[in-house]
Amino acid sequence: MGNHTKRIRGERKSMKTYTYSPKGVCSMKITFDVDDNGIVSNIKFTGGCNGNTQGVSALANGRNKDELITLLEGIRCGHRATSCPDQLAQALKEV
């Protein structure tokens, strides 16, 4: 986990970088930033279905972490009890 500061419209926003090891999916790692307002950015999946994880990242970028948890939690991948989007929700719940 790292910390960095970003200037947004004259304000300084503190950002933290998180790394999560997903369980039960093809993706091996999820990294993302969360600012002090709970806005998620720079979401990157390592492994998994490349097109799907890029799509999830693009759609989730800039949204509030609580909104993303509500939207993504419980999504399943085939016969699995979880999915890469669900694992992102699990990661965000730990923030």
Cβ atoms within 10 Å, residue 91: 23
C-alpha 62/C-alpha 77 separation (Å) is: 24
User: What percentage of the chain's residues is helix, strand, coil (to nearest 5)?
Assistant: 30, 35, 35
pTM: 0.87
Q: Is 25 exposed, middle or buried (0-12, 13-18, 19+ CB in 10 A)?
A: buried
Amino acid making up residue 62: G
- pLDDT digits 0-9 by tens, 33-89: 999 999 999 999 999 999 999 999 999 999 999 999 999 999 999 999 999 999 999
